[in-house]
Amino acid sequence: MSIETTTYGVLADGTSAQLFTLRNPNGLFAKISNYGGIITELHVPDRTGVLADIALGKDSLADYIDGHPYFGCITGRVAGRISGAHFKLDGTSYPLINNDGPNCLHGGQTGYDKVLWNASIIDSDGIQKLRLSYSDLDGNNGFPGQIDCIVTYALLDDNSLEITYDAVTTKSTPFNITNHSYFNLCGAGNGDVLGHQIQIFASSVASTDANGTLVGRCDEVVDGFNDFREPVTLSERELLAGNADIHYCLDAGRSECTQHAAHVYEPQSGREMDVYTTEPGVQFYAGLVLDDRGKNGIHYKKNWGFALETQDYADSVNYPQMGGAMLHPGNAFQSKTLYKFSAR
């Protein structure tokens, strides 16, 4: 089905941001802006066919520009934390901005969530897709190399939201890109997600210290705490940083084909979400510090949304034995994630 385009608002420099509405034949639809690649709305049916917007977000472009906790956006150049806001690469030291305690979080002060991406609509095998592109210049936010990046969104006939990522660089650099959507399968703004059942197909997690700094080690999941290999209703756990704001190392690892990473079920609505990815890990976040005005003037509170951010080990530049979140000249980056929706 055709993608609809409307003007979303105007930035401080006078340029206009656009809003794109993607639909599939089953009635699902998503709204995505080229400002930050933000998924502003995602409407999926419950077991009776009633649609609800399950994506947390803001009411307007101006609200997003004023600041938000990465609702629905493309996150990079490096999603997650680089420890000590510093790294050394090829004999050169690179200091970064510490915008999260001692660490550099989600690419620094002006990450991919805060830029206007170039947008076009493409046809791929009869499916219209939204193609966003951005050139992240050498030295931006302290990182070496120019990255030319493409993120493509599509709403498929099987009720999957498909996100693909492609990138090349002029110099070796850390690179770890993801989408940072917060979901509530009851509908955004309809209370907490503690009744959701979460399943993550991972036997280990990336260990951190008290500041959330990655320490270059993976530990086995602990039964009754951060083991989600079998479905767990979130209300059954005390949700802390060690089990609800942490990187899970998927058992399948990195793959050329998408692998099943996680499953979420909400019993009240019957909505289900399955996450498939080529990435080797997923950051699970249960909104531990959510405290923000959202859509329709509703104030989002702690645990009112969850995120499953597919990615590699964010601090690979400092701990190369832990992952491959690096991009080198001549080696193109390609990745795919699917958020597939159903109901029972």
Which CATH number belongs to the domain containing residue 81 in this structure? 2.70.98.10
Q: Residue 246: its pLDDT value, please? A: 96
Beta strands in 51-159 (DSSP E): 51-53, 74-75, 81-82, 86-89, 92-95, 104-105, 118-124, 127-136, 147-155
Q: What is the pLDDT of residue 213?
A: 87
How do residues 236-287 score in pLDDT, each as one tens digit?
A: 999 999 999 999 999 999 999 999 999 999 999 999 999 999 999 999 999 9
Residues pairing with 43 in the sheet: 29, 53
Interval 230-239 mean pLDDT: 98
Tens of pLDDT along 307-340? 999 999 999 999 999 999 999 999 999 999 999 9
Neighbours of 222 (CB within 10 A): 11
Domain that holds residue 30: 4-343
Residue 212: pLDDT band by 50, 70, 90 thresholds?
confident
* Count of domains for the chain: 1
Q: Write out pLDDT tens, residues 100-135.
A: 999 999 999 999 999 999 999 999 989 999 999 999
- Distances in Å between the alpha carbon of 15 and those of 35, 97, 118, 133, 137? 11, 27, 12, 16, 20
Average pLDDT, the chain: 97
The pLDDT, as a whole number, for residue 196 is 98
Please, what is the Cα angle at 318 between 105 and 241, to 5 degrees? Answer: 45
Q: Model confidence over 164-197: pLDDT tens digits?
A: 999 999 999 999 999 999 999 999 999 999 999 9
pLDDT at 210 over 90: no
**pLDDT tens per residue across span 40-86:** 999 999 999 999 999 999 999 999 999 999 999 999 999 999 999 99
Which residue is catalytic, options 68, 180, 247, 263? 180
180 is catalytic: yes
CA distances from 205 to 120, 193, 199, 227 (A): 38, 22, 14, 9
Give me 28's structure tokens.
């699902």
Confidence class of residue 2 from pLDDT cuts 50, 70 and 90? confident
Nearest CA to 42 out of 27, 55, 59 is that of 55
- State whether the Cα torsion 67-72-73-78 is positive or negative: positive
